Amino acid sequence: MSIKRSNEEKLDLFADIIEPAYAVISDREWAQKWQDGDRAGAIRTAVKNHKPEIVEILARVEGVEPGAYEIDGLALFMKLVTMFNRPDIDVANGLFTQQGQNDESAYSGSATVNTGDGAQ
C-alpha cells in the first residue's frame, strides 16, 4: 500500500525521521559495516542497536503513530528485499561516504579540459 503525500507532508515526514535516522547512521559499528559493503550486517546492527529508532522510522513511513505501530515481519522483509534490489542504492551509498575524497588516485587537477580544438 502506497501512501499519497503532498510535498509538504513528505517534508514533514523527512523532518520527523531525521533524528532517529541520524541515531542509526552515527553509530560507528553501523557506519563501518555500511562502508565495508556489508549491507546485511549494517541492517542487523541498526535493528539490534536502535530498535526504538527503527520502529519510529517504520511507523512514520507507514503513517502510523510509533506507539501504535505493529511490525509485520513478512511485509518488512519484502520491503527490505525491494529496497536493496534497487539499482540506485549504490548511488545513495556514495552520498554517505567520503570515498572519493580519500581516494589517493582521484583526480585533483583543474576542472578545465583540453579538447584539442584550441578552446579552453
Q: Given this model, what pLDDT does residue 107 score?
A: 44
Rounded to whole angstroms, the Cα distance separating 2 from 27 reads 30
Which residues in the chain show pLDDT less than 50? Answer: 91, 95, 99-110
SS3 18: helix
Q: Given this model, what pLDDT does residue 120 score?
A: 53
Could you list the beta-strand ranges (E) of 2-99: none
Q: Given this model, what pLDDT does residue 79 score?
A: 78
Rounded to whole angstroms, the Cα distance separating 71 from 120 reads 58
Mean pLDDT of the chain: 78
Rounded to whole angstroms, the Cα distance separating 92 from 77 reads 20
